[in-house]
Amino acid sequence: MTRANTGNSSLARRRRRVSPMGEYDRLPKPLRRWLATATLPWSPRSALRTWQTALGHTGGDEAAALGRLDAIEARQISRDARKVWNRGHPASESPRPSSRADPRRPTPGLGTRASAVQQATVR
């Protein structure tokens, strides 16, 4: 019997040992809120690992850790834009560090993180 919809790939097939939704549900509440508005698709495992590292670097300050996650995501978007659309694309410019006091509140005029990225890609 053939497997349905597995395609012809050289990637190794693996079974998930954990439930992705269960992993997501066990994430800290501030991280879940951040992931709900994240521009990139983060796995719960990598998000938690990055969150824990950010908390360690910020002395446990959740707002500062969320700001670090924003900066990490902005760098990745910039890196991906350079690969996909070359250096001339507005999103490929190096992101500026966030100076917002609360990274969960949008900067006036920019809206959410997603809309800021969309604005950068439209210009």
33 neighbors 55 (Cβ within 8 angstroms): no
**89 pLDDT tier (thresholds 50, 70, 90):** low
The alpha carbon of 38 is separated from its chain's Cα centroid by a whole number of angstroms, namely 5
Q: Tell me how far apart the alpha carbons of residues 22 and 24 are, in angstroms, rounded to a whole number.
A: 5
- Average pLDDT (94-112) is 47
28 neighbors 65 (Cβ within 8 angstroms): no
* Run of H or E including 78: helix 62-85
- Average pLDDT (63-83) is 90
Q: What are the boundaries of each domain within the chain?
A: 20-122
pLDDT given at position 5: 58
**119 pLDDT tier (thresholds 50, 70, 90):** very low
Which one-letter DSSP state was computed for residue 60?
T
Name the burial class of residue 68, with classes exposed (0-12), middle (13-18) and buried (19+) by CB atoms within 10 angstroms of its CB. buried
> pLDDT tens across 34-51, in order?
999 999 889 999 999 999
Specify the 3-state DSSP secondary structure of 28.
Answer: coil
Residue 90's alpha-carbon distances to 9, 32, 78, 93, in angstroms, are: 34, 29, 9, 6
pLDDT given at position 115: 45
